[in-house]
A and B are shown apart, each in its own frame.
Chain A
Amino acid sequence: MTRRLVAGIDSSTQACKVTVRDLATGEQLREGRAAHPNETLVHPEAWWQALLLAVQRAGGLDDVLAVSVAGQQHTPVFLGADGDVVTPSPLWNDLGSHPHMEDLNRELGREEWIRRTGLPLTLSDTVTKVRWLRDTHPEAATATVAVAVVHDWLTWRLLGGGPGAPDLDRLVTDRSEASGTGYWSGETEDYTPDLFAHAFGRAAILPRVLGPLDHAGLTAAGIPGIPAGIPVGVGSGDNAAAALALGVSEGDAVLSLGTSGVVYTVAPRPVHDYAGYVCSYADATGAHLPIVATLNAARNLELGADLLGCDFDELSALALAAPPGAEGLTLLPYFEGERTPDLPHARASLLHASLTNFTRPNFARAVIEGTLASQVWMLRALDAVDVRVDRLLLIGGAARSRAVRHILTQMVELPVSVPAPEEYVARGAAAQAASTLDGAFPRWSVELTQLPGSELDPRIAQQHDAAKAVLGYA
C-alpha cells in the first residue's frame, strides 16, 4: 500500500529542518536541514534559501500531499509594497531592542501591555522590534507596508508571495504567532491595532489570523522541490508546534532546554502575570500556551564543557560525581544577559568558590544546577498565575545529558518524562499539514520514558535564590 506523506518545516533560530512523515503514523521517513546565519540580524532571504536547500536535502517534496511551516516566534519580516523585504530582520534574541522595550513600557505602562496582550513586554516581542525599526531605521520603516513573522512570511512564499508578487492580503498567520507579537489579545482573539500603531507610528498590513484547522492556501508553481497545488497548513510558532506534536494537555508542562530555556503548558484561558514573567501565548489547537523563557540554557553546558576542556559525556559524569548543591558552589548562568529575570546587561557569576569546593565535579554540577534552577524557577512563576502543573516533559538538546535528567528530578517534586528524541517542532508542523487533509489533527503516539524519581533537595533552589538576592537579581 502506498504511504500518504506530509511534510513539516521548522525554520528555527539556527537551522531549517524539513521532515517528511507517514500521515498514518507520524513516522519520519526523510529529513533535510540547512543552517541559518549565526547573526542576530538576518536578511529573511537566507531563511527562504535555507528552506529550499533543506527541502532538496530531504529529497524534495514531490511525493507529499500537504506541507506546513513552524518557525521561530516573534522575529519580524518587514515587507514593502513591492512584496520585497525592506531590511534585514532582528531576531527574537537580538538585544538591540532593549531600550525600545523600555520605551514602550514607560509610555503605556508595563501593566497595560500585560492587561491588553497578556505579555510582560520583552525585547523579543515583535512589537519592540517594530519600534526598533521606527527609531533606528526610519527609512526602512517608511518603506514598510506589512509586518509578518518568519513562519507567516515563509508560508506566504510557499503560496507564491514574494518580490514582484506583492499580494500582501494573502499574508496569513495563526493564533500562536499573533499572540507573540504584542499587538494581539487572547481575550478578543483579535489584533489590537492601536498598540501596533503606537509602536510603529502608523498602521500596517498584518497577516490574517487563521483558526487551528484552517488552510493557508495551496502551494504556488515554480518552487524548486515543492509541488504546486498542495495544501499549506496554517502553521504556528515553534513552541506551539512542539506542544501539538507532544500532545500536551492541561497539567503537562514542557521544559525545553535548547538555545533558550522554555517552560510552557496548555491553559484554557489567557493569563495575566503582573509579576512580569509568564507570557500568555495561544497554542495551535484553540487553547492557550502560557510560557516562561530564559535566554540561557543548553549553551551553558557547552561553555562549562569548554572551560573544563571536556565533552558533554564527561561533563555529565563529573556533575553526577558531585553532591547536590556542589558544596555551595553556585552559578547564576546569565552568560548572555537574561530575560527572566530581566537582566539584559548581566553576565554570569560563580559564587561561593573555595579551595575545597572549586573542583571539576562541583563546577560541572554548578553549571547544570544553575541552568536547571533558572528553569525550575519558571514553574514557580506558572504556579503564581494559577496554572496547574502535574507532570514535566523534558525536551531539547540538553535533555540528552544524564546529569540534567537526574539533577532535575532532585529539584522538582513532579514526575518527569523524557519523550523520545525527535524534531517535535517539525513534527508539529507536519501534524498541521496532515490536518489540511483529514480536517483534524492526527493521533500520532509519543514514546515517553519516565525518569526514576529522586528525593527533592531544596538546597539547590535555596542556594540560587540566595545568590540572586545578594547580587540584587531577586
Chain B
Amino acid sequence: MIPAVTVDIGTTSIKLGLYDAAGAPLDTATHPTPTLRDAYGEIYDVDAIRAQFAEFVRDLDPVHREAIGRIAITGVGEAGGLVRRDLTLASPMILWHDHRGASYLDRLGPDERARIYAVTGLPVNANYGLSKTAWALDDSVDTDGALWLNLADYLAALLTGERWAERSLASRTLALDVTTGSWSAEVAGMLGVDVSVFPPLQPAGGRPLLPEAARELGLGADVRVVVAGHDHMVGAVGAGLRRGELLNSTGTTEGLLVLRDAPVLDDRARDAKLANGLACDGDGFTLFASIPTGGSAFATLQSMLGATAAELTGRLATLHERWLTGELDPAGAPLVLPRFRGSPPPDKNGDARAVIASLRSDTTADDLVAGTFFGLVLQFRDVLDLFPERPERITVIGPAARNPLWLQLKADLLGMPLTVAQAGEVVSRGAQALASGLAPDGNAAEPREVHPDPARHARMTAWADQIAPLWAQLKAVSG
C-alpha cells in the first residue's frame, strides 16, 4: 500500500487520516462538516474544509508526512457545485440532500422518467446533481466555462488545478449513461442543461499535486491526488466486498450496495427506485439503495432523551442483554417507522416523516429506544427485499458495527449471519487501497460474525407478520 492521507467528507463529519504502507492508521482526526447558509439553505463551507485538511497535513509528524505518496479523497455522493476555470465557485457547493433544484424535475413526464432510468440507471430525484446543475446555471453569474464538480472532485481540483469527475461520483449525477460510462446529452437536455457542463472522467491513478500546494502542505513533489469515489462504494472496497455479497454501510444514512457485472435497468428495479452506478475500482457496476435514517437515529434519540452518547450506549448494551435473554419483547415496544429524514425506496420521499405508534401509558424511554432499533431493522429488511436477489452475506461497516443491539436484531430478523467490520474507518482504508491501485483486502477490516438465533428469528418473524398491517398503515401515513 502507498502511504496516504485520506479525506472522507461525510454528512455530519469529515474524517481525516494518515495510513502507512501496511494500511495502519498513524494519525486520525474528525471534524464536524463545516457549513454555511445561503438564501436557500445550508451549503458547504469549502474554505473551511480545505483549511481543515491543510491543518491536518501540516500538523503531521514530519517523518510520516515525508512518506506520503497519495492524497485519497472520498465523500458523499451527490454534493456539488459549479466550478470556474480559475477554480473559483460560480455557485454554492450544494449539500447532497438539498432539493433546491427539485422544480426542474417537475416538468418530466412518466415517459421521460422511464427513459432517464433506462439511460442513467437512477430514479429521478432532486438529490442527484442534474437538477442542482440546472438550478445553479440559472441562479449563478459568470458561469461561462464552469463545470459541475462533486465536492470531493472539487477538493481534488484545488490540489491539482484540474477539473474532472471520478466515475462512481459521476454516476450519481443523473447525467451519466451508466451503460457506456459517458455523459448523456439526451438526459441533460431534458432539463435544458448542456452536457458540456460535466467534466471529463478522472484518469486512472489521479493527478499530481500542484507544486505550490505541495509546498504549502509540506508534502513531496511526487504526491498524487486520487478521488477514490462515492463513500458507500469506497467502503465496499475497504470491506473487501465480493460479487453476491451486500454491503450495509451505516453512517448518517444506511446504504445497501451490491456489485454487479451489468446495470439492472428493468421495470422492477425502476419501480423499486434502485440506483445503478459505476464501481470505483474497475469496470463493474453497483446497485445501491439508501435509507435516509441510519446512524442518525442514535443522535436523534440522544437528543430526545437528553442522554450523553455514553448513557445511550449503556442503554443499548442493557437492551442487547435483555434481547439475548429473551426479556425484550418487540410487541411491548412502540412501533417506530424511523423516517426521521424521509423515506427509503421504493417511496423515496424526502418529505416523509417518522411515525411512532402503539405508545401506551406504561411505555418507557428504554421501550422507545428498543422500538427505534426494531423499526430500523424492519425498514432495512423492506429495502433489502427490493434487490433482485438475497445476498449470500451481508457486511456491515460504520457506526452500526459498534452497536450490538442493532446488529443482533438485524441478524435475527433476517435469519442470516452478518460480517461486521471491526476496524475503524473502513471507508478511509478503501480510499487508500484505491489510491494505491491495489485489490481490496477484506481482512484489513478485521471482520467478525454476528450469528442469528433460530428461536429469536422465529420470534422476530412472527412479530413482523403480526404488525405488518400496522406497519403498512404507518408507511401510508408518513407521507
Give the B-binding residues of A (Cβ under 8 A).
Answer: 299, 303, 306-310, 328, 335-336, 347-355, 358-360, 363, 470-471
Which 7 pairs show the lowest CB-CB distances between chains A and B?
A348-B359, A353-B354, A350-B356, A335-B361, A352-B353, A347-B358, A349-B357
Chain A residue at smallest Cβ distance from B356? A350
Which B residues touch A310, using CB under 8 A? 306
Which B residues touch A308, using CB under 8 A? 304-306
Task: Tell me if B306 and A358 are in contact (CB < 8 A).
Answer: no
* Bound CA span A309–B477, Å: 29
Chain A residue at smallest Cβ distance from B479? A352
Task: Tell me if B353 and A303 are in contact (CB < 8 A).
Answer: no
Which B residues touch A303, using CB under 8 A? 359, 361, 363
20 additional contacts, CB 8 Å, given A335-B359, A354-B341? A299-B361, A303-B359, A306-B365, A307-B365, A308-B305, A310-B306, A335-B360, A335-B361, A336-B361, A348-B357, A348-B358, A348-B360, A349-B355, A350-B354, A352-B354, A352-B355, A354-B353, A358-B300, A358-B354, A470-B476
Does B461 have its Cβ within 8 Å of any Cβ on chain A? no
Partner of A349, one of B296, B300, B353, B356: B356
* Bound CA span A358–B477, Å: 17
Most chain A C-beta atoms within 10 Å of own C-beta, residue among B306, B353, B365 = B353
Closest chain-A Cβ to B228's Cβ sits at a distance in Å of 28
Interface size class of B (residues with CB under 8 A): 20 to 34
* Bound CA span A351–B358, Å: 12
* Bound CA span A373–B294, Å: 33
Which A residues touch B140, using CB under 8 A? none
Partner of B359, one of A309, A350, A354: A350
Which A residues touch B478, using CB under 8 A? 351
Which B residues touch A470, using CB under 8 A? 476-477
Beyond A351-B353, A471-B477, whether A336 also contacts B360 by CB under 8 A is yes
* Bound CA span A21–B468, Å: 58
Does B340 have its Cβ within 8 Å of any Cβ on chain A? yes
Which A residues touch B306, using CB under 8 A? 308-310, 360
Task: Tell me if B360 and A350 are in contact (CB < 8 A).
Answer: no
Chain A residue at smallest Cβ distance from B365? A307
Chain B residue at smallest Cβ distance from A357? B353
* Bound CA span A299–B356, Å: 19
> B327-368 toward A: CB 8 Å interface, digit per residue (1/0)?
000000010000011000000000001111111110111001
List 6 contacting pairs A-B, 8 Å CB cutoff, sorted by A. A307-B364, A348-B360, A349-B355, A349-B357, A352-B354, A360-B304
Beyond A309-B306, A358-B304, A359-B303, whether A353 also contacts B356 by CB under 8 A is yes
* Bound CA span A63–B40, Å: 75
Task: Tell me if A353 and B305 are in contact (CB < 8 A).
Answer: no
* Bound CA span A114–B306, Å: 49
Chain B residue at smallest Cβ distance from A300? B361
Which A residues touch B304, using CB under 8 A? 308, 358-360, 363
Which A residues touch B368, using CB under 8 A? 307
Closest chain-A Cβ to B186's Cβ sits at a distance in Å of 36
Closest chain-B Cβ to A356's Cβ sits at a distance in Å of 9
B438-479 with Cβ < 8 A to chain A: 473, 476-478
Beyond A348-B359, A350-B359, A359-B304, whether A309 also contacts B365 by CB under 8 A is yes
* Bound CA span A336–B359, Å: 9
Beyond A306-B365, A307-B368, whether A349 also contacts B359 by CB under 8 A is yes
* Bound CA span A94–B334, Å: 23
Task: Tell me if B300 and A355 are in contact (CB < 8 A).
Answer: yes
Which A residues touch B340, using CB under 8 A? 353-355, 358
Which B residues touch A359, using CB under 8 A? 303-304
Partner of A353, one of B353, B358, B361, B364: B353
Most chain B C-beta atoms within 10 Å of own C-beta, residue among A349, A355, A360, A470 = A355
Chain A residue at smallest Cβ distance from B337? A353
Which A residues touch B355, using CB under 8 A? 349-353
Beyond A354-B340, A355-B340, A470-B477, whether A307 also contacts B363 by CB under 8 A is yes
Task: Tell me if B354 and A354 are in contact (CB < 8 A).
Answer: yes
Which A residues touch B359, using CB under 8 A? 303, 335, 347-350
